[in-house]
Amino acid sequence: MKLIGNKPVTRYSVTRALLTTMSHYLSLKNVSKTYDDGKQLNQVLQSVSLTMAAGEQVALLGQSGCGKSTLLNIIAGIDRLDQGEVHVADIALHNLSEKDLTLFRRQHIGFIYQSFNLIPTLTAIENVQIPLHLNGFKPADALEKARTMLERVGLSGRIEAFPDQLSGGEQQRVAIARGMIHSPALVLADEHTGNLDAATGRDMQTLFNEIARDTKQTVLMVTHSEAVAEAADRVIEMIDGRIDHHSNVVVKQADQSNANNNDRHSQ
């Protein structure tokens, strides 16, 4: 059995309690990534360092192609870094095997995509239950939880609809419900309002923020939207594979963020 520190990595060893008591919930240290297409090397991430407090909501801005999605994929363990370190709570993700990384992602990470990525042959309520099934919930419990979550996102009348019977805004509500249903401690959103009109995107962001704050989730959102950036505790910018620590760094709602952390520590 694989060990992290002196703890074995098993399905339930990385507990939510552990994950939410860390003051630096997410920590990236000198993360670098280069793609090799056989003809040339493309250094997409250049020594990226970033820390996020538990419960903090950060918006990540940057031009297309600067490496934002690659960074999220590395944090989610979908992609591998070449150099550097990624810690979520005290778990060194860069040292985990593929199997442990998959387990970790399944339990503790929620991902919300620009294109929703719903499974077209499953209904809304079936899509939302997927993370629960993967985490071993009983079918009846998963169904009930999914029903409650879809109610929360305002879709109680549409739970049996298939994705192509739903509007873009409704599909994204389903995707948010699915991304958050298993109470992941870390939610990663990649341009989650990018395919929505401004008003729908704003509504979506309000809903997303509410759920994340209620459940004390740490959130990293890639976005081009001012509304999303305004709703975040902190805004950071990426330029050509680097996080720009000198310009456009806006720290907001610090009191709120600290209050969240204090809550968490007293639990």
Ligand X SMILES: Nc1ncnc2c1ncn2[C@@H]1O[C@H](COP(=O)(O)OP(=O)(O)O)[C@@H](O)[C@H]1O
**3-state secondary structure (DSSP) of residue 252:** coil
Residue 62 contact partner, candidates Mg ion, ligand X, none, CB within 5 to 8 A by sort of partner: ligand X
Residue 35 contact partner, candidates Mg ion, ligand X, none, CB within 5 to 8 A by sort of partner: ligand X
Residue 23 contact partner, candidates ligand X, Mg ion, none, CB within 5 to 8 A by sort of partner: none
C-alpha 215/C-alpha 235 separation (Å) is: 21
Please give the structure tokens belonging to residue 76. Answer: 């989610």
Give the contacts of 178 (CB within 8 A, at least 6 positions apart): 118, 127, 128, 130, 131
Amino acid occupying residue 154 = G
C-alpha 212/C-alpha 199 separation (Å) is: 20
Give the contacts of 116 (CB within 8 A, at least 6 positions apart): 163, 168, 171, 172, 174, 175, 195
Which helix H or strand E contains 129, and what residues bound it?
Answer: helix 124-134
Closest approach of ligand X to the CB of residue 167, in Å: 25
The answer to whether residue 267 forms part of the interface with ligand X (CB under 6 A) is no
Q: Give backbone dihedrals phi and psi of 179, rounded to 5 degrees, phi first.
A: -70, -25
- Give 90 or 240: the residue with its C-beta nearer to ligand X: 240
Q: By rule CB under 5 A, what string of x and - marks binding of each residue 153-182 to Mg ion?
A: ------------------------------
Neighbouring CB atoms inside 10 A of 12's CB total: 10
Q: Measured at CB, which residue is nearest to Mg ion?
A: 69
Closest approach of Mg ion to the CB of residue 220, in Å: 13
**Binding segment toward ligand X, per CB under 6 A, in 37-45, 154-162, 174-182, 198-206:** 37-45
Please give the structure tokens belonging to residue 132. Answer: 């629960």
Residue 153 contact partner, candidates Mg ion, ligand X, none, CB within 5 to 8 A by sort of partner: none
* Pair 190, 222: CB distance under 8 Å: yes
Binding to ligand X, residues 54-113 (CB under 6 A): 62, 64-70
- Give 93 or 222: the residue with its C-beta nearer to ligand X: 222
Q: By rule CB under 5 A, what string of x and - marks binding of each residue 31-70 to Mg ion?
A: --------------------------------------x-
Residues of this chain that interact with ligand X (CB under 6 A) are 35, 37, 42, 44, 62, 64-70
Q: Which residues bind Mg ion (CB under 5 A)?
A: 69
